[in-house]
Amino acid sequence: MLPLAPLHYVLSAVSGFVVGFTLGLIGGGGSILAIPLLLYFVGLANLGGYPPDYIDHLVVGTTALAVGLNAFINAYMHWRRGNVALREGAVFAGVGAVGSFVGANVGLGVRGELLLFLFGIFMIAVAVYVWKGDGDGGRRASRRGSSWARLVPTAFAVGFASGFFGIGGGFLVVPGLLFSTGVDILKAVGTSLISVGTFGVVTAAAYLLKGLVEPLISLLYLAGGVAGGYAGARAASAVPRRTLRKIFAGMLIAVAVYVMARNLP
């Protein structure tokens, strides 16, 4: 357990609110902000007496747990509305969990600064994806049926990326489901949360085995995220979705540049 001050815990809840609000506002991608917020806004990157590599990996494991738990809560809400394809979701999550575990262990073997530098590059790629997205996030319904030949490798690759970077990866899971199954966009979004939750928890478990998770901060992130998601969803109707996505993409690029500058290999 880190010797954190009360302010750290308050800022953790605020960070969770920001992540949840962003998710509710634009419908995806917000969890990618969880790591830089915990490092630089909450201030774990500035804690003395700990190797930076230890803190970097601790943040990845802690945010992965929060993102996973939050996704499971939202998956249940979508399931109650009939927006979850359980069979496709279970297969994608199961195969992806293997990829997530492999990716998490590979990430644990990468020096913390290099991992965060690569994460910054990944954020820029996500920003480009978000910027180019249309009203439904650039993710159109697939006209194909489900295909094991597409589903298994796609799920593993998405899970690996999620575990390696310690993110939920919903913006990867949704296109993956549309590519490899016959579900429509609405069910793809709801079904993706099963995988996002599974990947997050599996990644967190790999880090927890190494003592690299702060459960209390994860729970505070979760609580803030639930409140933020509710507020973001209510505010989403006030601003055009395309405008929101471009603002978010610009913010992602700015944060990515900062993260990369702080962690030059």
Question: Whole domain around residue 58: which residue ranges?
Answer: 6-262
Q: Which of 32-46, 113-127, 167-181 has the lowest mean pLDDT?
A: 167-181
Cβ atoms 185, 178 nearer than 8 A = yes
pLDDT of residue 29: 62
Taking only the tens place, the pLDDT of each residue in 176-192 is: 888 888 777 778 878 88
Among residues of the chain, what percentage have pLDDT more than 90? Answer: 28
Structure tokens at 171: 């913006």
Let me know if 96 is exposed, middle or buried by CB neighbors in 10 A (0-12, 13-18, 19+): buried
- Chain-centre distance for alpha carbon 121: 15
Any domain includes 23: yes
Other Cβ atoms closer than 10 A to 3:
8
How many independent structural domains does the chain possess? 1
Tell me 32's DSSP state: G
Any domain includes 1: no
Collapsing DSSP to helix, strand or coil, 124 comes out as: helix
Any domain includes 78: yes
Taking only the tens place, the pLDDT of each residue in 146-182 is: 577 888 999 999 899 888 887 777 777 878 888 888 7
